[in-house]
Structure 1
Amino acid sequence: MGLFTRSRPIRSLLCWLLLAPLIALNLFPFAVMLSTALRPRDEIFINPQRWLPSRLAVENFSDMWTSVDYGTAVLNSLYVAVASVALVLLVGIPSAYALSRYDFRWKRKYQLFLLITQMVSPIVLALGLFRLFVWLGWIDSLDPVAIVVAAFNLAFSVMMLFNYFSTIPRDIEEAAWIDGASATASLIRIFLPLALPALSVTAMFTFVEVWNEFVITLTLVRSSEHFTLPLEVHALASNLYELKWHHIMAAVLVATLPVTALFMWLQRYLVGGMAAGAVK
């Protein structure tokens, strides 16, 4: 027993062996997606099926891109995701900072309210949001989509940042105040750099949630030039006359690339930010 508890390589090997089936299960859909996206059209429904196609049909990606104006959908998704992340951080940072640094009346009730809002599904409010934006005359635009999805992700972001901000000692800010820095300057120059792991994790989770948003976008968007990636993939998959599975899988594969790149870029902050934000 001592060998297993003291030897780090053995513990790592056991962990990887235990996690291998779960990793394979999670990677299996991506393997199917990649195999189908690179397969010629006449080999999709062959029997018996095989993993490797006879040739790599790279033209599936270019054909898909030009047939449904996929580039516009990518830009629309990027606009909504970046705008939503900016709104969440712009509102969430001062809110979480105030919760972590100041005591005020009904503070605990406000925190409970934030947790309760996390239980509300966007689909429950879809009809009400549609009627509201029809009344405002703000339908078929990406701006209300960015605002609404940012609002749905704000409570999680505030609680995530609040728990992390609470771990940063007050002495650091007080030392900056003694040196003559204002509260705003100490927040921007000292506090926020220390909170970079939590900010990165919060931005990443918000980006992923907004990137995959479907219900709100479907409710508020009407014209195809405002379609985001989930709506464009849905349009490909709901064709009444022909389902081009090689195009659908190519579209889904391309849609996962920005999220994967963002995760790889911010992965060094992920573990530390989640661990610090989970406990006080």
Structure 2
Amino acid sequence: MTNRALNRRSLLNWLLLAPLVILNLFPFAVMFFTALKPGSEVVSNAGAWLPSHFAWQNFVDMWTTTRFGPALLNSVYVAVASSAGAIVVSIPAAYAMSRFKFRLKRPYADFLLVTQMLSPIVLVLGLFRLVVWLGLIDSINMLVMIYATFQIAFAVWMMHGYFNSIPVDLEESAWLEGASRLRSLVGIFLPLSLPAIAVTAIFTFINAWNEFALALTLLRKPDNYTLPIQVFSLVAGRYEVDWHYVMAATLLATLPIALLFAWLQRYLIGGMATGAVK
């Protein structure tokens, strides 16, 4: 295919994808321009895209008046800790499903698949009563444990398919050299599995970062709020809403994750496809 044909094909693809790109960028444009409007213009001049002047001070004021900083730290802690916990538990489970044969292997795999069909919102009432009975309501560490538990099944399924693509011969060669199963797992198997582990960790991190229903149910004190709850508190139950602060907080909460996902998308696709190619 000639360069002219490649350029023509690329241009056609961009033209076809342009509406989707605009559709995805539109909410960010609304948040950005609303966040930069002075408070008096958000309602009185709501139909105008551009403000009379760009109020960059809104981001500084929002950070200090809405407790955005503590909520950001809580979200980072919850997302990182729950993702790490899910990965640590899921690696041995996925390895066992890939390498061992046992009687209940198929029912166990089916059970993991069925759990993915249940939304966490279905279990909110039961979880709430359990957490209250344990006396751990409003505990951010309990929220981490619940997030990690919900993501274990997803993480096991993600890594199990990739683990199956790694030849057993590599481990058997290490065993013949005198290495134990644990040493071959740590020294040979896990380094080869890093793409799948990284992809799974990114997805579990994003799921924990965006979760709203469980955090709203289990957290009470503003000091323990995660970002979704903190942004929600700027709107819920208020007679007058400072929409410029709401949009500034929402933009800062969503834009870093969107940029991270866009930057890592090639690695995500490559990590998910490597197992199929092997």
Q: What is the CA distance between 1:179 and its match in structure 2? A: 2.7
Question: What do the CA deviations read for 1:37-95 (whole angstroms, capped 9, x no partner)?
Answer: 11222222345733222222111111111112111101111111111001110111110
Q: What is the CA distance between 1:271 and its match in structure 2? A: 0.7
Structure 1 distance, partners of 2:263, 2:86, is 20
Match for residue 63 of structure 2?
A: 65
Match for residue 41 of structure 1?
A: 39
Q: Which of the numbers 241, 248, 253 marks the counterpart of 1:250?
A: 248
Q: What is the CA distance between 1:181 and its match in structure 2? A: 2.4
Aligned residue-pair number: 278
Moved more, 238-247 or 46-55: 46-55
Match for residue 8 of structure 1?
A: 6
Q: What is the CA distance between 1:142 and its match in structure 2? A: 0.4
Q: What is the CA distance between 1:278 and its match in structure 2? A: 7.0
Structure 1 distance, partners of 2:117, 2:9, is 38
Structure 2 distance, partners of 1:278, 1:241, is 54
Match for residue 212 of structure 2?
A: 214
Secondary structure of residue in 1 paired with 2:107: helix
Asked if the contact 2:165–2:276 (Cα under 8 Å) also holds between the matched residues in 1, the reply is no
Q: Which of the numbers 117, 128, 131 marks the counterpart of 1:130?
A: 128
Match for residue 77 of structure 1?
A: 75
Moved more, 128-137 or 261-270: 261-270
Question: What do the CA deviations read for 1:221-267 (whole angstroms, capped 9, x no partner)?
Answer: 11111010011000001142211110000001111244235325533
Structure 2 distance, partners of 1:165, 1:12, is 35
Match for residue 194 of structure 2?
A: 196
Asked if the contact 2:83–2:201 (Cα under 8 Å) also holds between the matched residues in 1, the reply is yes
Does 1:19 find its partner at 2:17? yes
Alpha carbon RMSD of aligned pairs, Å? 2.1
Asked if the contact 1:233–1:252 (Cα under 8 Å) also holds between the matched residues in 2, the reply is yes
Question: What do the CA deviations read for 1:13-36 (whole angstroms, capped 9, x no partner)?
Answer: 222221111111111111111111
Structure 2 distance, partners of 1:261, 1:77, is 17
| Residues 194 and 10 (structure 1), Cα distance of their counterparts in 2 relative to 1, 3 Å cut | farther
| Residues 48 and 260 (structure 1), Cα distance of their counterparts in 2 relative to 1, 3 Å cut | closer
Match for residue 235 of structure 2?
A: 237
Structure 2 distance, partners of 1:51, 1:123, is 37
Q: What is the CA distance between 1:106 and its match in structure 2? A: 1.9
Q: Which of the numbers 104, 107, 110 marks the counterpart of 1:109?
A: 107
Match for residue 183 of structure 2?
A: 185
Structure 2 distance, partners of 1:48, 1:237, is 17
Match for residue 92 of structure 1?
A: 90
Moved more, 186-195 or 246-255: 186-195
Scaled by the length of structure 1, what TM-score is found? 0.92
Scaled by the length of structure 2, what TM-score is found? 0.93
Q: Which of the numbers 267, 270, 275 marks the counterpart of 1:269?
A: 267
| Residues 174 and 10 (structure 1), Cα distance of their counterparts in 2 relative to 1, 3 Å cut | farther
Structure 2 distance, partners of 1:272, 1:130, is 39
Asked if the contact 1:201–1:266 (Cα under 8 Å) also holds between the matched residues in 2, the reply is no
| Residues 130 and 279 (structure 1), Cα distance of their counterparts in 2 relative to 1, 3 Å cut | farther
Asked if the contact 2:71–2:225 (Cα under 8 Å) also holds between the matched residues in 1, the reply is yes
Does 1:172 find its partner at 2:134? no
Structure 2 distance, partners of 1:118, 1:210, is 15
Gaps in structure 2 of 5+ consecutive residues: none
Question: What do the CA deviations read for 1:195-216 (whole angstroms, capped 9, x no partner)?
Answer: 1111111111111110011111
